[in-house]
Amino acid sequence: MPTPFESMQLTNCVLRLNRIRESTHVAARKTAIGLAALLLAAADQPAFLDVTVQNVRNDRGRVRVAVCTEPEFLSMHCSWIGSMPAQPGAVTVRVAGIPPGTYAVEAYQDENENRRIDRNLIGMPTEGIGFSRDAKFRFGPPRFADAAVTLGPEGGQITLSLRYLAD
């Protein structure tokens, strides 16, 4: 049987251990809450998409890129756009502020910088055009599903090629 002094020391030791255990749990909880808050904040942050446009035939004008939701696809009003000066070969355009989701990317070389795709008398584009996933277009534009890409919260990078249908 412990002496009263030993009992008091034992009680103090147990109390100290409990305080240490409680402070460790509190610190762990605070750390977990902080990490969860950071992850939630990061999930809400818009991402970027780097689009490398290949097969640019000259240095005239700008290479324009539009990142579109399904309702916006093939319209004149996509929510996220970007452009860079044209140069022969490849041009990379960064489009920022895009929330994670599924999009289709449209690109064209605006050789005369009029901000639209020029067409010949029968309606064929006279400037190079291309779509994400190099979606094919033969007798009309591709479907959204053929060009759809998924963008996560960390952003992304895609490559597409311009095609020149009419000169």
Give yes or no: residues 62 and 118 share one domain: yes
Full residue range of the structural domain in which residue 117 is found: 47-161
Q: In the chain, helix, strand, coil percent, each to 5?
A: 30, 35, 35
What is the rounded CA–CA span in Å between residue 154 and residue 46?
9
Structural domain count of the chain: 2
What is the rounded CA–CA span in Å between residue 14 and residue 73?
67
Q: Which of 158, 133, 156 is nearest to 52 (CA)?
A: 158
Give yes or no: residues 65 and 109 share one domain: yes
Give yes or no: residues 68 and 40 share one domain: no
In-domain check, residue 166:
no
In-domain check, residue 167:
no
Task: Please report, for the chain, how many H helices and E strands are present, in that order.
Answer: 2, 8
Q: Which residues on neighbouring strands pair with residue 104, listed in sequence order?
A: 68, 148
pLDDT tens, residue order, the chain (167 aa) = 556 555 556 556 555 655 656 665 555 555 545 544 444 444 557 999 999 999 999 999 999 999 999 999 999 899 999 999 999 999 999 999 999 999 999 999 999 999 999 999 988 999 999 999 999 988 889 999 999 999 999 999 999 999 998 76
Give yes or no: residues 70 and 142 share one domain: yes
Residue 146 DSSP code: H
Give yes or no: residues 24 and 77 share one domain: no
Give yes or no: residues 112 and 36 share one domain: no
Alpha-helical regions (H) of 45-155: 144-147
